[in-house]
Structure 1
Amino acid sequence: MRIVDLLAPEAIELGVSVASKPDAIEKLISLHEGAGNLNDVQAYREAILAREAGGTTAIGEGMAIPHAKTDAVAKPALAAITVPDGVDYEAPDGKPSNLLFMIAAPSDGDVHLEVLARLMTMLMDVDWRNELLGAKDAQEFLKLIDDKEREKFPEEPAEEAPAAAAPAADAADHIQVLAVTACPTGIAHTYMAAEALAQQGEKMGISIKVETNGSGGAKNILTKDEIAAADGIIVAADKNVEMARFEGKKVVITKVADGINKPEELINRAMSGDAPVYHHTGGGGAAAEESAEGESLGRQVYKHLMEGVSHMLPFVVAGGIFIALAFLIDTIMGAPQDGNFGSNTAVAAWFKGIGGVSFGFMLAILAGYIGQSIADRPGLLVGFVGGAMAAAGCTFAEPAGQAVSAGFLGALLAGFAGGYFMLWFEKVCEHIPQALDGMKPMLIFPLVGLAFIGLFMCAVNPFMIMLNQAIADFLTSMGDAKILLGLLLGGMMAIDMGGPINKAAYLFGLASIENGNYDMMAAVMIGGMVPPLAIALACTLFKDRWTETELKSAPVNYIMGLSFITEGAIPYAAADPLRVIPACVCGSAVAGAISEFFGCTLMAPHGGIFVFAVVGNWPMYLVALACGAVVGCLMLRVLKKPAEKA
């Protein structure tokens, strides 16, 4: 398979004029759609937007490579456009992008990955990029690609690694610099960074070997002998890679974008020894090490917390829906709403039992994966057991647990305390004789970690139980004041649309579910649904306030809003934050307040309109959603000025 097998002529458009990044994305998606590369256009669009929300895919030097790996892709494919005037794609160098490829990769199958890797390495050739920009038509564009690929990779089997991953020069005794590149999707940046480092090494006369950790797995893997003999090591990665092998070596650890944009600087640092000696602590690999050097403590805590939440959510969502279905079934069957409500009928009892089992893992999974994010595998057991002890309410007086739980806050404390304890203990164990290394992961770490978390949780759980109970009592006693809380939570969901404030409100809703206060989660979800709906409605009713590109993309936000994907509003908020964000906050706050006023409840913390059947008082929940969307829409009409038409 060659690159031209993935790039159809109908998926190429040259000399395009696009006004913005969203406009460019839509153009590329439409080319994929027209070429029959997608089986679900909306799902693919969401995957692309989600990838962009995590950081721009613009490389710099006029290039952007948006990409997504998803089941929405029918077959591996490329789409390409050239933009003579350039488009602001939020590139790291601030320059407009004029050559854009969009990669559509299916979730299963890796045959195409090496082919895409070739394209990424070829794009590092500036002269060849200029030839592509000067192509007169799609056929010339394809011929330039095919000729370049055959020149650079003559009859190379697909399973071989790309040239970027090979040594840049022959070394008499050893390879001077070793490097590892990796990005979250493993499709674009991984190979471009590898090629940039290889090219720069060749220019400098320095032998270099690059290991790529792409979607197809690690290629050109560094050997023990190479690592031992290397003068310097570079790890340019935005995801965890195997780091223990670099113990005692000077390692330059940075983000993958620096491998593309700053290869000379990285190689000079590696060769000069301007890097700290790496000591493996069992933490989360390259990403964790970079965090320790360059990120604030708050950012590190946030990343560990999100690691726990992301693993916990499937248990809560599925379990919550099953429990809610149990109540719905008993309601339909006319069962009495007594102490057995939700399990009066056999079917309802089955749903409630299975849902309860899934739900019961919530705190243990949360704490376990926070611990693992901090201390790698040794932190998993400690966090998991600590979370389970928080859920059970274990104390010295009641070591087997009691009826009152330490709740969400107790699990958070267990995850962070257990994780950081194990991180510290691993450093202590560095001085243990090497002959005992094999006993550390199977005996020493588990025993010491379990003893610590057992003592720690039994000591702190009484205080966490009191705090948890006080919060629950306060929420129960709020009465009409809950409307203000609903207003606050709903508004927070729209302030940064997926950012830390949005996540804080969402976590509060999750914690409230664990405490049995399901109305808070209802206010949170409806607050997150309003911004895309308000924007879509405003684009429908007040077309003079929006650009042609924004109007064209607006209908998608109806679907994203109803699906509880707040991020659909981000492109509009980014284009005009001082007007769009306040309008969305107002609409979301109104929706959250109305939801609380009518006592709407939600046991499933995700799903949007698809879980409305299990919402308590769902008719008024719909009313709250409609009111919030209308208020946000009207605020947009008032705040936004008429758009300038091209």
Structure 2
Amino acid sequence: MSEMITADLVDLDLAAETKEAAVRSLAERMVTLGRVTDLDGFLADVAAREARMPTGLDGGIGIPHCRSAHVTEATLAFGRSARGVDFGAPDGPADLIFLIAAPAGADDTHLTILSALARHLMDEDFTTALRTAADATAVAALLQGPAEPGDAGPDAPADEPGARADERGARADQPGAQVAEPGTTATESDTTAADRVFRIVAVTSCPTGIAHTYMAAEALEKAGQHAGVEVVVEPQGSAGFSRLDPAVIAAADGVIFAHDVPVREKERFAGKPTVDVGVKAGINRPAELIAEVRAKAERGELTGPVTGPVTGPVTGADSGSGAAGSHPTPLDGAGEPGEGYGTKLRTWLMSGVSYMVPFVAAGGLLIALGFAIGGYTVDKAPSVAEHFVWTDHTSWAALLFQVGGLAFTFLLPVLAGYIAYGMADRPGLVPGFVGGSIALTINAGFLGGLAAGLIAGGTVMTVQRIRVPAPLRGIMPVVVIPLLSSAVVGLLMFLVVGKPIASLQKALTDWLSGLSGTNAIILGVVLGLMMCFDLGGPLNKVAYAFAVGGLANPNEGSLKVMAAVMAAGMVPPLAMALATTVRGKLFTRTERENGKAAWVLGASFITEGAIPFAAADPLRVIPSAMVGGAVTGGLSMLFECTLRAPHGGIFVILLIGNPVLYLIAVAAGTAVSTGLVVLLKAARKTGRPDQGEDATRTEDGAAGGAGAAAKVPEPV
């Protein structure tokens, strides 16, 4: 393989003003050198990665990257911008831009480049040299060291391919080894460390498992060196991770979790003083985290979640998040100390909702099919365990209805259990499920399930903070925590908060049942706006959860709400599909291809089908989708449409009340959204005929330029 970066791949005067233009400019250099075979195809792949999550990093860094079938060999291009380009970093535009291209399937190469580069970006001298270099040759020479995959030198990340064997050995096989200060020998380091060295093990991870993961690891290791503390880090990257030796963990005096995604196999670190923060805290204030965990150790605080030991063999050591033996959990409240409780609360609630949705879909559709086959008296049928006639369609309808009903009885326990799970890990499951079952028993409904989950999670988190003697720690997760937390949750749900919540739930149900006229239309408009605001995000899920919560005890009002929510959620992808059909020249070739798929996604009630369009042009697509969704939601309520199925889109039309009017509502909202997005895109084109992303055209006449690449996310 030739060098990944040469002087021809360096632009020290990058003039682009948008990230799309910057990526295109650097990609064109790759095309010139034969590293990329199809510019538009490659740009679409870069944009798909960018749509998934911004690639801007704090400190003026942008790292757009992707794997692509249009790349012939792993390549790194660099651009330096005087004005800065916005890549979505919280602290503003990036002036140092790295475009990384790897051939399809070259996972190790791709991740090695990124992780090694991320570690070097923590070195202020390195970034200063990039900002002050006078010629492209010097920059290329500077980048060739950290970026080269397979580099066996000291620059390779310790947990990535190419890491030095002796460094990995020092970390994994010598738990007492002190990481030597630069300029000292191993003997000198061992002598000064002796037995007084404070040992910390850390785990770092971020949603993409690349840049922030390794930047945090580097920052913690450097801070440990300056503080005279041994810090051994396990970066849990997107290509898997190399587990710390159990002896290293056992010898550690404290633990630091710097993560934005769940720590895998967290039980390995149980029973030690623990600091649990977001990954950016690991980058921005590593010295404070080290001081904090030392202080907790001195006070004897065991703040880490105490979970049971692994009861079986761990396999799939480096297979990533899906490895057998790993125990991925939802976010358990980790975050910056300044992060608001509102953000944490939303994360916990979304954990419960995400686990509940499959039960909703399966149970709700089975119930709806039972009604469709057996009529509205199917709920009066005897138990199929006692009476079932193989040739009678009503028996089959009763079977579907009763199986779906049983699935629905799990909604509140699963919701509450996994809210508690998101807050307190596995110890939260038992009290969470108990609380959810109590909410079901006392008819506290969806609100009761939410309250039960939060109470259970809070109770477990409180119990976990109690200092206990070392001999008792082993029974905490299997006896003490389930016993105490379940008793507390039961007491509160039965005697304190359960009955008021049940009364509130009944009042809400009665209100929905009596909705008519203007009130119903306004509610439909609000739900439509929520469904289309973030296209499958938290606000969308809140509206959806509100609707499906009413299906547990359905009435006329709750069925109208479910109909309005599903109708509005179909609008964004259908509108984008229609817009790419009627005014294809306003969209790129890739977007027009996405538009074909959006027909099916929209008809299936998969709102996320509009995400590629919204990511490419949010200021025009999202408002247009919201207006159309509001129109559809309001019309669905006005037409008094009802729906017993929680999902299915057009394919459950037979289960919809007033189906013709329902289709009219969906069509009207789709037409409104289509018209708005076409008008807004056409106005942009007219207002800037000779500049920006509309100045260049693709080979088939569609608008190209900087915005040609459609942001197509990976499947959710």
Instruction: Give TM class, smaller chain.
Output: 0.7 to 0.9
Instruction: Tell me how large the CA RMSD over aligned residues is.
Output: 5.2
Which residue of structure 1 aligns with residue 630 of structure 2? 589
Change (3 A) 1:257 1:603: farther
Matches within 5 A, 1:139-538: 146=148, 149-151=151-153, 166=171, 167=179, 169=181, 170=186, 171-172=189-190, 173=193, 178=200, 179-198=202-221, 208-215=231-238, 217-219=240-242, 221=244, 234-241=256-263, 242=266, 245=269, 249=273, 253-260=276-283, 262=284, 265-267=285-287, 270=290, 279-280=302-303, 282=305, 288=332, 290-291=334-335, 293-328=337-372, 330=373, 337-340=376-379, 344-393=393-442, 405-428=443-466, 430-431=467-468, 433-459=469-495, 460-480=497-517, 481-498=519-536, 500-516=538-554, 517-535=558-576, 537-538=578-579
Q: Report whether the alignment pairs 1:598 with 2:621.
A: no
Deviations along 1:40-80, one digit per CA (max 9) or x if unpaired, are 99x9999846741xx65646553325579xxx9999x9786
Alpha-carbon distance between aligned partners in 1 of 2:377 and 2:24, rounded to the nearest angstrom: 53
Deviation at 1:478, TM superposition (A): 1.7
Which residue of structure 1 aligns with residue 89 of structure 2? 91
Deviations along 1:513-543, one digit per CA (max 9) or x if unpaired, are 2231232122123323323444554566568
Corresponding letter in the other structure for 2:212: H
Deviation at 1:364, TM superposition (A): 0.7
Deviation at 1:120, TM superposition (A): 1.0
Structure 1 window deviating more from structure 2 (469-478 vs 270-279): it is 270-279
* TM-score of the superposed pair, with normalisation by structure 1: 0.74
Deviations along 1:417-441, one digit per CA (max 9) or x if unpaired, are 222223223334x24x433333322
Deviation at 1:212, TM superposition (A): 1.9
Alpha-carbon distance between aligned partners in 2 of 1:340 and 1:272, rounded to the nearest angstrom: 59
**Which runs of 5 or more residues in structure 1 are unaligned?**
394-404
Which residue of structure 2 aligns with residue 121 of structure 1? 116
* TM-score of the superposed pair, with normalisation by structure 2: 0.67
Structure 1 window deviating more from structure 2 (284-293 vs 233-242): it is 284-293
Structure 1 window deviating more from structure 2 (306-315 vs 479-488): it is 479-488
Change (3 A) 1:418 1:598: same
Change (3 A) 1:243 1:182: farther
Corresponding letter in the other structure for 1:374: M
SS in structure 1 of the partner of residue 337 of structure 2: helix
1:379 and 1:418 in contact (8 A); partners too? yes
SS in structure 2 of the partner of residue 293 of structure 1: coil
2:270 and 2:304 in contact (8 A); partners too? no
Deviation at 1:101, TM superposition (A): 2.9
Deviations along 1:14-64, one digit per CA (max 9) or x if unpaired, are 8799764567889999999x9999xx99x9999846741xx6564655332
1:492 and 1:502 in contact (8 A); partners too? yes
Alpha-carbon distance between aligned partners in 1 of 2:523 and 2:120, rounded to the nearest angstrom: 56
Deviation at 1:311, TM superposition (A): 0.9
Structure 1 window deviating more from structure 2 (274-283 vs 184-193): it is 274-283
Which residue of structure 1 aligns with residue 665 of structure 2? 624
The number of equivalent residue pairs is: 597
Alpha-carbon distance between aligned partners in 1 of 2:433 and 2:47, rounded to the nearest angstrom: 33
Alpha-carbon distance between aligned partners in 1 of 2:543 and 2:222, rounded to the nearest angstrom: 47
Corresponding letter in the other structure for 1:95: P
1:29 and 1:45 in contact (8 A); partners too? no
Change (3 A) 1:634 1:160: closer
Deviation at 1:310, TM superposition (A): 0.8
2:259 and 2:279 in contact (8 A); partners too? yes
Deviation at 1:589, TM superposition (A): 0.9
Alpha-carbon distance between aligned partners in 1 of 2:417 and 2:538, rounded to the nearest angstrom: 22
2:19 and 2:85 in contact (8 A); partners too? yes
> Percent of pairs identical after alignment?
33
1:422 and 1:449 in contact (8 A); partners too? yes
2:277 and 2:334 in contact (8 A); partners too? yes
Change (3 A) 1:613 1:219: farther
**Which runs of 5 or more residues in structure 2 are unaligned?**
172-178, 308-328, 382-391, 692-716
1:282 and 1:376 in contact (8 A); partners too? yes
Change (3 A) 1:122 1:46: closer
Alpha-carbon distance between aligned partners in 1 of 2:336 and 2:144, rounded to the nearest angstrom: 45
Corresponding letter in the other structure for 1:372: Y
Which residue of structure 2 aligns with residue 402 of structure 1? none
Change (3 A) 1:22 1:469: farther
Deviation at 1:145, TM superposition (A): 5.2
Specify which structure has the bigger relative contact order, considering alpha-carbon pairs within 8 angstroms and separated by 6 or more residues. Answer: 2
Deviation at 1:592, TM superposition (A): 0.7
Deviations along 1:460-516, one digit per CA (max 9) or x if unpaired, are 444333332222222122233423321221122234545554343222112222231
Alpha-carbon distance between aligned partners in 1 of 2:430 and 2:376, rounded to the nearest angstrom: 40
Alpha-carbon distance between aligned partners in 2 of 1:195 and 1:354, rounded to the nearest angstrom: 53
Deviation at 1:280, TM superposition (A): 1.6
Alpha-carbon distance between aligned partners in 2 of 1:114 and 1:552, rounded to the nearest angstrom: 27
Structure 1 window deviating more from structure 2 (313-322 vs 461-470): it is 461-470
2:333 and 2:423 in contact (8 A); partners too? no
Deviations along 1:284-331, one digit per CA (max 9) or x if unpaired, are 999646448332222222111111001111111122223333334x1x
